[in-house]
Amino acid sequence: MTKHHSTISRRDFMKTLGLGSVGLGMSALVAPAFHDLDEMMASPMADFKRPSWVKETNKPTVDIDWKLMGQDPYDGSDCMWEKGYVKAVGETVANAIKAQGAENRIKWIKEKRPGFTDKDWAFNASRRFFQTPDYLNPGNQTFLGPQTAPTLTSMGLPRYEGTPEENARMVRTFLKVHGCSEVAFCELDTNTTEKILYKCDAAGIPYFIRDQDQPEEVIDPNGKSYRVIPKRARSVIVYTMRMAPELLRRVPTYLSYRAAFIIYEQQCLTQSWLQQFMRALGYMCLGWHRITSSLGSTTGFGVMAGLGEMGRTQHLITPEHGQTERVFCAITDMPLAPGRPIDFGAFNFCKTCKKCAELCPSRSMSTDTEPTWEKRGFYQRSGVKAWWRYEPGCRSWMYNVDNSCGKCISVCPFSKLYKAPYHDVVREISSNTTLLNRFLRQMDDFLGFGARPEEDFEKFWDMDVPPWGYE
Amino acid sequence: MWLIIGLIIGAGLLAWVYWIRERHVKITWYEWLLGIIGLMVLLFAIENFTKFLAEHETRAAWRFLLIAGLPSLMLLSLYFLLPWRRHHKAG
């Protein structure tokens, strides 16, 4: 049984007594303060309330064939960011395109091309600081976490116990105060969601799920490496981190490239803090062993946890920030109240919108109205009905422009700052009916939403940018 | 900003109601409806204009002001013009 103290603050008590005006006056002088984690967990920070136009469903809006997914599990090293690119286009073509990209880099810096100036290049070159969560031992690629936090059990105390709902609020609070935007949870089920996990990480090291008490990680230079996720670790923590919108919109440039990598490197810190927190409480927390190498499809976990819907880009679209967030995951044995898939009209909007596909510089995205089960190549996973992208074309374009593009996610009508009430009207309409989707797409174009024009790229340096690039 | 707009609307409404009572101008229910809708659309246009500028979406701000602001001004014009013309015709 869990024990918590009352979280009625002195301020609320005074208000109840009817000393409203005095209380209000006094409270205006007092900044809100949390005295402990219980108060944080009781606060709105721990809530995950969605607007009424976000509906929870039993089935995700994207069709998934779990049996097919299980029969052909995805190899993380087959993605375009790893060996998948050379496997798809061949070494000769890959080297030629990379060489062209390197040539373009020098040429554009010399030409002071907007978005590719020396200043912009240096802005992006600031990355490659955190590449692995174990920043004290660079190159130590572990999914176990730093493993240095003291634990309750080491002090002779019992480990922390809470109900799944309390635990969910606690973990959400922890992650939000450490820079995350939305946090949800998914339960690993043998016949369904467990199949979202990759069979191998980005380096080709296999993951196994076994009935054993503790996780295991063997890194063998002779090629017999593996990682074991204990079967009893049934909860997936899925969390998002926002990217700077004004960077994302200056695409494809070194400025937009940095937007993603600020978050990847921030995630190394955030994941480490989470793993230490969970360890201190008495639980395992298995995360990414290095940046860009997930345990499984974060879009898949995000959909099943109820963070968002899958879009045409195959990325997660969240009601709060569209596609301007990166999604991460970690696995734990702490019981966490799982979320349910949601429907706010995004997947259906993608059917008619097609803005990302029409504006894709490499023409790699599908412009079909309906998604399909037929994936385009080995680099994509089976068992999902999606608008499959020609990944080698996308990655080749990225190499050519010497950055990670991202035009698709920046032009998405859902990727907005959401300050203007117009956006609320659009979301309310698109979540309730598909009849006006075409008109809403046309309005999005008419109002000029999307990527910034080239003449605006360098104006970024004169903007009054908020901390971390977003408010 | 909204405090000032609210004060202006409040003062303007007060002056208008005083004026129509003084002159015994009759306004029908549908004219009131036009006026209320026109005012709401105008306020919606202004709110979106300022918020689009806050989002650094300058083009969206001006274009939305045009497509929402113009119709709202038309509706408000009808709200003022129709009873005014009727009042003048009646002499």
Query: Are B38 and B73 a contacting pair, CB within 8 Å?
Result: yes
**Amino acid A99: pLDDT:** 97
Looking at CA atoms only, how far is residue B91 from chain A in angstroms?
A: 44
Q: Do A447 and B51 touch (CB under 8 A)?
A: no
**Quick one: closest CA in A to B48, which residue?**
A420
Strands A207-210 and A226-230: parallel
Query: Is residue A147 left, alpha or beta, with left meaning phi > 0 and alpha meaning psi from -120 to 50?
Result: left
Query: Is residue A156 left, alpha or beta, with left meaning phi > 0 and alpha meaning psi from -120 to 50?
Result: left
Query: Are A406 and A252 a contacting pair, CB within 8 Å?
Result: yes
Chain B residue numbers touching A417 (CB-CB < 8 A): 54-55
Query: Are A181 and A319 a contacting pair, CB within 8 Å?
Result: no
Helix, strand, coil fractions of chain A, as percent rounded to 5 = 40, 10, 45
In the beta sheet, which residues pair with residue A331? A236, A286
Query: Are A332 and A346 a contacting pair, CB within 8 Å?
Result: no
**Amino acid A41: pLDDT:** 73
Q: Does A187 touch chain B (CB under 8 A)?
A: no
Helix (H, G, I), strand (E, B) or coil at A168: helix
Q: Do A447 and B57 touch (CB under 8 A)?
A: yes
**Amino acid A67: pLDDT:** 96
Quick check: A38 pLDDT over 80?
Answer: no
Query: Are A271 and A328 a contacting pair, CB within 8 Å?
Result: yes
Q: Does A246 touch chain B (CB under 8 A)?
A: yes
Cα diameter, chain B: 52
**Amino acid B87: pLDDT:** 79
Cis peptide preceding A392, ω within 30 of 0: no
Q: Of the candidates A64, A87, A48, which has an alpha carbon nearest to the alpha carbon of residue A299? A: A64
Single-letter amino acid code for the residue at A380: Q
- Which of A246, A421, A446 is opposite residue B56, by nearest beta carbon? A246
Q: What tens digit of pLDDT does each residue of A154-193 get?
A: 999 999 999 999 999 999 999 999 999 999 999 999 999 9
More confident residue, A245 or A131: A245
The chain B residues in contact with chain A (CB within 8 A) are 44, 47-48, 51-52, 54-57, 59-60, 63-64
First vs last Cα of chain A: how many Å apart? 39
Looking at CA atoms only, how far is residue A422 from chain B in angstroms?
A: 6
Quick check: A53 pLDDT over 80?
Answer: yes
Looking at CA atoms only, how far is residue A249 from chain B in angstroms?
A: 11
| DSSP string for A24-84 | HHHHHHSPP---SHHHHHHSGGG-----TT-EE-SS-SS-B-HHHHHHS--BGGGSTTTTH
Q: What tens digit of pLDDT does each residue of A111-161 get?
A: 999 999 999 999 999 987 666 666 666 667 899 999 999 999 999 999 999
Q: Of the candidates A82, A296, A271, which has an alpha carbon nearest to the alpha carbon of residue A207? A: A296
| DSSP character at residue A353 | H
Q: Of the candidates A410, A374, A134, which has an alpha carbon nearest to the alpha carbon of residue A260? A: A410
Chain B residue numbers touching A463 (CB-CB < 8 A): 56
Q: Do B63 and A446 touch (CB under 8 A)?
A: yes
Quick check: A102 pLDDT over 60?
Answer: yes
Report the distance separating Cα A259 and Cα A253, nearest Å: 10
Cβ-Cβ pairs closer than 8 A, A with B, add up to 38
**Quick one: closest CA in A to B41, which residue?**
A422
Task: Give this prediction's pTM.
Answer: 0.89
- Which of A417, A446, A463 is opposite residue B55, by nearest beta carbon? A417
Q: Do B52 and A448 touch (CB under 8 A)?
A: no
> Which pLDDT band holds residue A13 (cuts at 50, 70, 90)?
low
Q: Does A157 touch chain B (CB under 8 A)?
A: no
More confident residue, A49 or A92: A92
In the sheet with A207-210, reading across from the earlier edge strand, the strands are A207-210, A226-230, A216-218
| DSSP character at residue A420 | S
Mean pLDDT, residues A67-93? 94
Q: What tens digit of pLDDT does each residue of A396-455 get?
A: 999 999 999 999 999 999 999 899 999 999 999 999 999 999 999 999 999 999 999 999
Looking at CA atoms only, how far is residue B60 from chain A in angstroms?
A: 4
**Quick one: closest CA in B to A456, which residue?**
B56
Helix (H, G, I), strand (E, B) or coil at A186: strand
